[in-house]
Amino acid sequence: MKEKEEKVGQSADQQGKFKAGSFNCYNYPSLNQLGQQAPFGQIAAALMGSTRICFYGDQLFWKQPNSRQRTAFHQDATYFHHEGDQCCTFWMPMEKVDQENGMMGYARGSHLGDLYKPNLFVSQASFPGSQGKALPDVEGHEEDFDVVYYPAEPGDIIVHHVKTWHGSTGNTSPTRQRRAMTLRYLGDDIRYLERQGTPPDSPKSAQLHDGDPIECAEFPLIWTREQGFLA
């Protein structure tokens, strides 16, 4: 074990990897249960002023020691097959996170502006086939975009709006990993929309057509103001 850790944390030619994976809840019932039954849905409703909440799955992010790639600034909305304002992401770290190992940064007020193209996530290059304008070079001009970074610890939760520009630093630590998990929630005004040029790992629903309310088997209704949690 010790030998493996040392190898992962070595020099540039043996950089650690940055791995990410979405909708693990489809394969791990306990994760699905966590997303649907914990108080998250109710908190999302309060933050968004919504009367009904659907669960939109999870995502995991693992920056191994020396995985120096940033998470490029992006908006979650452009990766999701729906439109509307009431969608938020709960970001939760598994270990202490700071400037050295992948701290999250957010451009204040950016959720009130336009929607831009998705990028390759580890670079600002636009996702092939995506449409619209590319996000400005936030990383290169953070002071122009009112970017704030938040150190975090296990137990902390950072919630961001689906249009907020956000990204994270690379992990330059030779020894510390940085793992984080997100849970995503949808409110009253969310409608299904198949976005052209959205990365293929974003699940679509065979049952829904553009403009339909989002509730379906893949994105279940989990909480209502009248009934509370449904599971």
| Residues engaged in binding ligand AKG (CB under 6 A) | 61, 71, 76, 89, 91, 102, 166, 168, 180, 182
Question: 7: helix, coil or strand?
Answer: helix
- Residue pair 72/137 in contact (Cβ under 8 Å)? The answer is no
- 97: CB partners within 8 A, 6+ apart: 103, 104, 151, 152, 153, 178, 180
Question: Between 50 and 182, whose beta carbon lies closer to ligand AKG?
Answer: 182
- Residue pair 225/51 in contact (Cβ under 8 Å)? The answer is yes
CB of 227 to ligand AKG, least distance (A): 29
Question: Between 103 and 230, whose beta carbon lies closer to ligand AKG?
Answer: 103
CB of 107 to ligand AKG, least distance (A): 13
CB of 113 to ligand AKG, least distance (A): 17
Token couple for 215: 């509730």
CB of 211 to ligand AKG, least distance (A): 25
Q: Distance from CA of residue 136 to its chain's centroid?
A: 19
Question: Between 113 and 228, whose beta carbon lies closer to ligand AKG?
Answer: 113
CB of 74 to ligand AKG, least distance (A): 6
Question: Between 78 and 89, whose beta carbon lies closer to ligand AKG?
Answer: 89
Angle at 44 between CA 130 and CA 95, to 5 degrees: 80
- The CA-based diameter of the chain, rounded to the nearest angstrom, is 56
DSSP annotation of 219: S
Question: Between 199 and 213, whose beta carbon lies closer to ligand AKG?
Answer: 199
Comparing CA positions, the residue from 9, 2, 18 lying closest to residue 170 is 18
Question: Between 106 and 192, whose beta carbon lies closer to ligand AKG?
Answer: 106
Amino acid at 84: G
What does residue 172 show for φ and ψ, rounded to 5 degrees? -95, 0
CB of 160 to ligand AKG, least distance (A): 7
- Residue pair 197/121 in contact (Cβ under 8 Å)? The answer is no
